[in-house]
């Protein structure tokens, strides 16, 4: 069994980006600049945004954190997005989700200039992804594809079962795995909360990509010997013995499933760090395409 070391691979990618940025600077070119918009004080969101901003510094990018109050109106947020769209200094930006309830998320994501949409959430970019066109692939599915690619895992003709159909993970990864190319060329089954007898699908799977957010959902008796297991789940589970009062838990019962898997991602240290590396990669692409 091989552990898919997302921490190591993400560091490799960051090193590669650092070199490209150093070369850009040496050539007198503009440094990539990522902005992150956060509305409100949600603890997990602040942690994620903080890691993204720190990652920018690590590779030599400029970054701007736009912190807005929970009470901001939808119109004021749209105005801020318009400013970022039109700011030539900013190459790409993200709007950290979830947004407060009084703000229409779809409306906000639609307002982001697709050329600066480094999260790849704009319908124009999502449509391009489905049509094999140049786009920004959402960072988490992009990270999974990059892990499969760098570990040279055969995906052609394999049966990939995805659990979860969210717009940011399950849906796009199901499309990517079915596209032509390596990784890709997979026969994909997309399962979700209404799937009957889900285990019947996962037991047949050569590759399982789990993105549902239910701790330890995928058990050893639900996978076949030699399966490749990608665990996207990140759930904070209360634990009074942990320093932070919680532990990060994946969707996969790692202890049991790792006994049967040929490759498996740990949580933490698997898909999570890859997501940040691919956001940086998308920001670099945004600069290079500008």
Give the binding site for ligand NAD (CB under 6 A): 140, 163-166, 168-170, 191-193, 195, 198, 211-214, 232-235, 271-272, 275
For residue 26, the minimal CB distance to ligand NAD (Å) is 32
Catalytic residue from among 14, 52, 80, 116: 52
Non-local CB neighbours of 175 within 8 Å, separated by 6+ positions:
129, 130
For residue 160, the minimal CB distance to ligand NAD (Å) is 15
Catalytic residue from among 117, 119, 251, 253: 119
Residues 288 and 24: their CA atoms lie apart, in Å, by 10
Nearer to ligand NAD, 275 or 281 (CB): 275
Residue 52 is a catalytic residue: yes
Residue 119 is a catalytic residue: yes
In the complex, residue closest to ligand NAD by CB: 213
Non-local CB neighbours of 206 within 8 Å, separated by 6+ positions:
158, 159, 160, 224, 226, 227, 228
Residue 96 is a catalytic residue: yes
Non-local CB neighbours of 88 within 8 Å, separated by 6+ positions:
none
For residue 139, the minimal CB distance to ligand NAD (Å) is 7
Nearer to ligand NAD, 94 or 163 (CB): 163
Q: Which residue bears the tokens 């999502």?
A: 126
- The side-by-side arrangement of strands in the sheet containing 92-95 is 62-68, 33-39, 92-95
Catalytic residue from among 96, 116, 158, 231: 96
**Residue 59 phi, psi (nearest 5):** -100, 0
Nearer to ligand NAD, 80 or 147 (CB): 147
For residue 162, the minimal CB distance to ligand NAD (Å) is 10
Non-local CB neighbours of 194 within 8 Å, separated by 6+ positions:
none
Nearer to ligand NAD, 24 or 220 (CB): 220
Catalytic residues: 52, 96, 119
């Amino acid at each position: 069994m091989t552990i898919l070391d997302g921490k190591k691979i993400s560091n490799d990618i960051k090193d590669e980006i650092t070199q490209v940025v150093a070369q850009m600077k040496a050539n007198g070119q503009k440094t990539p600049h990522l902005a992150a918009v956060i509305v409100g004080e949600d603890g997990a969101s602040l942690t994620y945004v903080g890691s993204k901003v720190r990652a920018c510094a690590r590779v030599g990018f400029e970054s701007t954190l736009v912190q807005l109050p929970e009470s901001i109106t939808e119109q004021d947020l749209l105005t801020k997005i318009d400013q970022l769209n039109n700011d030539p200094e900013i190459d790409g930006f993200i709007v950290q989700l979830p947004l407060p309830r009084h703000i229409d998320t779809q409306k906000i994501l639609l307002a982001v200039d697709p050329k600066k949409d480094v999260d790849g959430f704009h319908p124009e970019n999502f449509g391009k992804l489905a049509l094999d066109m140049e786009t920004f692939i959402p960072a988490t599915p992009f990270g999974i594809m990059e892990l499969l690619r760098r570990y040279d895992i055969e995906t052609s003709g394999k049966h990939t079962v995805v659990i979860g159909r969210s717009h940011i993970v399950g849906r796009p990864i199901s499309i990517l795995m079915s596209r032509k190319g390596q990784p890709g060329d997979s026969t994909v089954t997309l399962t979700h909360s209404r799937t009957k007898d889900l285990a019947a699908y996962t037991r047949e799977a050569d590759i399982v990509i789990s993105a549902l957010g239910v701790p330890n959902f995928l058990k050893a008796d639900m996978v076949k010997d030699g399966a490749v297991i990608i665990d996207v789940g990140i759930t904070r589970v209360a634990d009074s013995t942990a320093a932070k009062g919680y532990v990060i838990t994946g969707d996969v019962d790692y202890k049991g499933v790792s006994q049967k898997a040929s490759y498996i991602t740990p949580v933490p240290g698997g898909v999570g760090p890859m997501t940040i590396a691919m956001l940086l990669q998308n920001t670099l692409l945004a600069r290079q395409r500008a």
